[in-house]
Structures are given as structure tokens and as C-alpha cells.
Amino acid sequence: MMNENQLSRRQVIGGIGSGVAASMMATSGFAASNPGNATSAPAAPLVDPTTKYPKPPFNTPMQPFPGLASKMNPRPDHGETSYKGSGRLQGRKALITGGDSGMGRAAAIAYAREGADVAINYLPAEEPDAKEVIDLIKKEGRKAIAIPGDLRDEAFCKRLVDEAVKGLGGLDILVNNAGRQQQRESILDLTTEDFDATMKTNIYAPFWIIKAALPHMQPGSVIIGTTSEQAYDPSPNLYDYAQTKAATMNYVKSLAKQLGPKGIRVNGVAPGPIWTPLQPSGGATAEKLKTFGGDSALGRPGQPAELASIYVQLAASDASFATGQIYGASGGKGQP
């Protein structure tokens, strides 16, 4: 005999089924009464990547080094009007070198819109571009720290980190993005002074900055380096620059192994042909600039805005298993 307080298996199953049915009816009714429900939201329109941005031929003027984005024609898109944040980096504190233009500027804008406070470094000659970035960061209600100076100076690199930590109240994202690129058709045209300037900017500066930053970085912090397709498929006229980008790729992989046990992730971004001031200020010849990026699978150069989400992803905590990785964006050229 079954006790009156006990339920048969059939009664239990029946009760569950009734509850599920009731729940489904309630959910169905809720969805029907809420037209804003995600299931009924209109799909975002598809965008053809081959026509999204300008294609060559270009007629942008050459500039003296280091060049300004504001003087390029067409002007690069760093996400000034297009990048929309969603709070992925809320409360984070980032230092970005080369934050006035190119990928550094795109990362700075995206980080601010994701909720981070941002310090940017740049050369004094790049002040007009940097001011635009600082204004955009402040517009998001975030702290914006401008620290101009030459990264070829070890003492300045140490001071840069100190000022960033003081201004931001800490540091948990470091983006070593600044780079020097000056093409030379022959190694015979490359002076020791040129070679030294490229090495100091692209290799020594990240070394000095990382050393100064690490004592301030807690587990969960990230370091991101900007390498290049040049690390994998170097151009003949970028003898010195290509070497530094291969070295950047390797320091990312080495440092990731060293700092992994400490809970600090290290990754890199490897762009292909991207429309930045590096090109018209000596990184490319005037002839190559006219057709720049035209040999990519998309028939155009990339824009800095198209890499912003990569820098965000590598900095975000939901990428916590990504370290020692190189994320490429080369427009179909297959590198890395």
C-alpha cells in the first residue's frame, strides 16, 4: 500500500510535464507581449568587406616622419564614429604607446568605450592627432592621460610608466604599439643611425617599458605587442623594421611562458597592410603608396578600426586562456 503522502512515479512525471507546459505557455506569452525580445530583433545588415573602405589608387601626400593621420587623404578610420562599446573593460587601466594614430588610436578609442581609463604616449610632433584621441576618451567619461616623449630614451620609458600609474591609479593593460618604419631600397642606404633608431623604438622601448610596468601589474593583467605580417613575410626594403617585428613576435611567445604562472597574459597582433601615417611618412615609397593594400584578397588596405576588436578581445578577461598567441588581420594574405 502506498502512503497518502507518497507520490507514484506516474504522478511525479505528470506533475513535471504539467509544470513544463505551463512554463512554456508563460514564456510564449511573455515573448509575444515583448516585441523587443532578442528573437524578434531585426538582423543587422551584412556589410561587404571589399567595398566597406576606400580602395587604391590613392593620392595622399607624403609627409615628414612621424606623420599625422589628420593630413592623410583619405583619413584613416580608427572607429571614431563606428566603434560601440559594451562594458567589457569596465574599470581597467591601460597604457598604449603610439596612441595618437593607427592601431594604437583605434585601441585607445575602443578601450575607453569599453569602460577603461587610458594613457597614451606619442611623439611631441604628433600632438594634433593625440589631442583628438584625448578628447574622444574624455567624451566617454573616462580618464585620459597624455604623455608625450621619445621612447628611444630609457629614462623617459621609466617615467612614462610612473606617470601612467600615477594618473590612472594603477595599470593592468599595457599595449606596446609604437613603431618606427622607414623603407630603404638597399641595405647600403641604411645608416647606423637609422638602424639604431628603429631598434631603440621597436625593441628597446618595449623591453624598458615592460620592466617598469611589471611591478605594478597584478594577476589578470595583460601585455599586448603589435607585430606585423613583416615578421613572417618580410619586404626587401624593410630590412630593419621586419627584423624588429619578428623579434616582437618572439618576445610575446617567450614572455607569455615566463609570466603565465604569475597570471599575466602576453599576446600579439599582426596586421597586414593598414592605412596609417607610417606609410606616407617614409614607411612606403610614393609609388607604392598609390596602390597600397591593393594586392590583398579584399583589394584594399585595412583600416585601424578593423583591428580594434582584436585589441579589446586580448585585453578582456573572457580571453583568459589566450596567451602567447599572435592574432593576424592581413586581409587574406595568409600571415600569420
Q: What whole-number distance in Å separates Cα of residue 129 and Cα of residue 105?
A: 9
Q: What whole-number distance in Å separates Cα of residue 217 and Cα of residue 1?
A: 69
* Residue in this structure with the C-alpha cell 599576446, named with its chain if needed: 267
Active site amino acids: 241
Greatest Cα pair distance, the chain, in angstroms, is 101
Q: What whole-number distance in Å separates Cα of residue 68 and Cα of residue 58?
A: 16
Who's near 137: CB < 8 A, 6+ residues apart? 108, 109, 112, 118, 143, 144
Q: Helix, strand or coil for residue 271?
A: strand
